[in-house]
């Protein structure tokens, strides 16, 4: 499968008796676009994020490649990145059209503006096409160039064409039948005005729910940590401090969602290899990479705009959070131990952000407790991922530095971190600082046993494979965890409002 063969030169070979060749397909060719039509994504956008994942420093070469033409840039990307064609999300509606045309014996042609080698890779994986044509050096096979190529190859109105975007309008004008996939009313109307027979192929489009999943709005619960300084400092009656905490919460939530979008775009190969993460909006192709970039940029603008309403120190903490998460997404998540330390640090940074927004200094006890309890939760997350890999008979999870043989080590480290957090809390309750803040400190001694119960229960649930990916989300949905939180809050309330 390749572009048109060159004419043969030299002596004509003598025919050798053998089996009769299969009859060539007959009928009007069905020509199929790739990006957005055959697949739910765009290979150029996929290649850019694969480059960031596989060879980040080469992203600096993209402008230089683009200066030599879009076709040249695509060719260079094809040289560098490695695709897993089996993991690419294919459009079921287009595959159904291809299956029908194949059953009718029609020639099937994949014609795309993506690089020839990328087109060949998809075609070889599917094994459905009789011809494959893509962009080559100096020729970007899109729009008018594609229309001219197909007209020269099959004649004006001599082919049917399946596409999905306004750039396909010149091709539909030259085709016999314009098959429009996943198009809105405007594009369908424009395609119907080009003079070809029109067939609209409906497809499910991403809705609000998909975008809410993409920004992981449920993860905003983690950003409630910015309220910890106000609560711990007994300043809930201070309207200025509470308002600053609300703004800090919004700024961190927008920033965190932008980071989640970026992380998902960088993690496409590993997410598609995961039993649950492959259903995420970007991995599944429900939301395009381009729309993901737009969404992430809009969220960052909102985050920065909100941060400007707070002290400059908060903006510095927010910038540090973004830098750390970016480093985590690009590299640190694949480094053993470093990854969980960074995750624990990112939770603690939220508390520091709340302090920066309200000018309430956090105590040593609070920061130490935060680091160890969140280190335990980060290790639960990694333990759960390795347990899933073990259940799937894999040696490791995609995009992680651990192997299934590390399960015992992860549990040992995580349980130890949780116990250390309980010990720090007990020492805090016994410190002179607490006696000065709470009239009845004896109520607080109910908290360490409750926390000890929770840590042991979380690790037991993780060992049973009942904690899926994110322990914070699990805890929010777990009534035992919520009951423990309410009991702890009640103990602190009684300690601060009653005297014996």
Query: For residue 29, what pLDDT band results from cuts at 50, 70 and 90?
Result: very high
For residues 337 and 396, state if they share a domain: yes
Identify the sign of the CA torsion 95, 96, 100, 103: positive
Domain count, the chain: 2
Residue 299 has pLDDT above 80, yes or no: yes
- Choose between 52 and 177: higher pLDDT: 177
For residues 126 and 220, state if they share a domain: no
Domain hosting residue 232, numbered range: 208-497
Give mean pLDDT, residues 168-182.
Answer: 92
For residues 231 and 84, state if they share a domain: no
pLDDT of residue 273: 82
**Is 20 a member of any domain?**
no
pLDDT of residue 45: 93
Q: Which of 201, 224, 258 is the last residue of a domain?
A: 201
For residues 351 and 425, state if they share a domain: yes
**Is 403 a member of any domain?**
yes
Q: Assign residue 130 the CATH number of its domain.
A: 3.40.50.1000
CA distances to 149, 179, 422 from 158, in Å: 12, 14, 75
Helix (H) or strand (E) holding 339: helix 338-358
For residues 328 and 381, state if they share a domain: yes
Which tens digits make up the pLDDT trace of 387-439? 988 888 887 776 678 888 999 999 999 999 999 999 999 999 988 878 778 88
Strand stretches in 166-247, DSSP E: 177-181, 197-201
Residue 12 has pLDDT above 50, yes or no: no
Residue 243 has pLDDT above 80, yes or no: yes
Q: Which of 175, 201, 227 is the last residue of a domain?
A: 201
CA angle 307-381-218, nearest 5°?
45
Tokens of 400: 């992680």
For residues 289 and 368, state if they share a domain: yes
For residues 174 and 295, state if they share a domain: no
Residue 365 has pLDDT above 60, yes or no: yes
**Is 11 a member of any domain?**
no
Concatenate the DSSP letters of all residues of 68-133 into one string.
Answer: T-HHHHHHHHHHH----TTTSPBPHHHHHHHHHHHHTT--EEEEEEEEHHHHHHHHHHH---SEEE
Instruction: Pinpoint the alpha helices (H) of 177-227.
Output: 185-192, 208-215
- Choose between 183 and 385: higher pLDDT: 385
For residues 213 and 230, state if they share a domain: yes
* Diameter over CA atoms, the chain: 109
Tokens of 415: 């349980």
Which tens digits make up the pLDDT trace of 41-91? 999 999 999 998 788 888 889 999 999 888 889 999 999 999 999 999 999
Which tens digits make up the pLDDT trace of 34-53? 999 999 999 999 999 999 87
For residues 186 and 245, state if they share a domain: no
pTM as predicted = 0.80
Residue 36, helix vs strand vs coil: coil
For residues 264 and 413, state if they share a domain: yes
The residues near 55 (Cβ < 8 Å, ≥ 6 apart) are 80, 81
**Is 334 a member of any domain?**
yes
**Is 23 a member of any domain?**
no
Q: Assign residue 365 the CATH number of its domain.
A: 1.10.600
For residues 173 and 247, state if they share a domain: no
Residue 178, helix vs strand vs coil: strand
Tokens of 48: 């850019």
**Is 14 a member of any domain?**
no
Concatenate the DSSP letters of all residues of 344-405 into one string.
Answer: HHHHHHHHHHHHHHHT-PPPHHHHHHHHHHHHHHHHHHHHHHHHHHHHTT-SS-TT-S--GG
For residues 422 and 475, state if they share a domain: yes
Q: Which of 141, 176, 201 is the last residue of a domain?
A: 201
């Amino acid at each position: 499968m390749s572009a048109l063969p060159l004419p043969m030169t030299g002596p004509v070979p003598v025919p050798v008796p053998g089996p009769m060749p299969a009859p060539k397909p007959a009928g009007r060719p069905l020509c199929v676009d790739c990006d957005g039509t055959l697949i739910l994504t765009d290979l150029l956008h996929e290649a850019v994020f694969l480059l960031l994942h596989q060879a980040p420093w080469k992203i600096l070469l993209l402008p230089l490649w683009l200066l030599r033409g879009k076709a040249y840039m695509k060719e260079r990307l094809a040289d560098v990145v490695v695709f897993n064609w089996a993991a690419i999300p294919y459009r079921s509606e287009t595959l159904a059209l291809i299956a029908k045309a194949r059953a009718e014996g029609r020639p099937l042609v994949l014609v795309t503006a993506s690089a020839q080698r990328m087109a060949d890779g998809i075609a070889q994986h599917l094994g459905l096409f009789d011809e494959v044509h893509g962009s080559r050096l100096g020729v970007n096979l899109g729009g008018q160039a594609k229309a001219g190529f197909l007209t020269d190859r099959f004649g004006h109105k001599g082919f049917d064409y399946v596409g999905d975007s306004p750039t396909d309008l010149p091709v539909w004008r030259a085709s016999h039948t314009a098959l429009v996939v996943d198009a809105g009313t405007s594009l369908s109307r424009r395609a119907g005005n080009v003079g070809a027979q029109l067939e609209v192929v409906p497809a499910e489009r991403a809705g609000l729910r998909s975008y809410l999943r993409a920004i992981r709005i449920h993860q905003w619960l983690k950003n409630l940590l910015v309220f910890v300084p106000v609560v711990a400092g007994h300043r809930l009656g201070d309207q200025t401090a509470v308002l600053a905490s609300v703004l800090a919460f919004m700024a961190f939530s927008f920033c965190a969602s932008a980071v989640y979008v970026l992380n998902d775009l960088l993690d496409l190969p590993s997410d598609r290899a995961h039993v649950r993460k492959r259903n995420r909006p970007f991995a599944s192709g429900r939301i395009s990479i381009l729309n993901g970039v737009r969404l992430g940029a809009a969220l960052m603008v909102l985050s920065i705009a909100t941060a400007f309403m707070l002290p400059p120190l908060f903006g510095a903490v927010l910038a540090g959070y973004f830098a750390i998460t970016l480093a985590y997404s690009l590299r640190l998540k694949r480094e053993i131990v470093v990854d969980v330390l960074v995750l624990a640090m990112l939770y603690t940074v939220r508390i520091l952000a709340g302090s920066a927004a309200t000018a309430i200094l956090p105590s040593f006890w609070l920061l130490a407790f935060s680091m160890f309890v969140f280190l335990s939760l980060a290790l639960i997350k990694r333990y759960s991922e390795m347990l899933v890999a073990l259940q799937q008979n894999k040696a490791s999870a995609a995009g992680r530095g651990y192997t299934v043989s590390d399960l015992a080590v992860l549990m040992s480290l995580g349980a130890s971190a949780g116990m250390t957090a309980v010990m720090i809390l007990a020492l805090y309750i016994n410190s002179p600082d607490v006696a000065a803040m709470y009239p009845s400190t004896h109520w607080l001694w109910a908290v360490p046993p409750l926390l000890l119960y929770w840590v042991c229960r979380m690790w037991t649930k993780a060992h049973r494979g009942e904690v899926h990916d994110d322990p914070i989300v699990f805890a929010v949905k777990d009534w035992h965890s919520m009951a423990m939180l309410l009991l702890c809050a009640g103990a602190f309330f009684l300690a601060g409002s009653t005297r014996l």
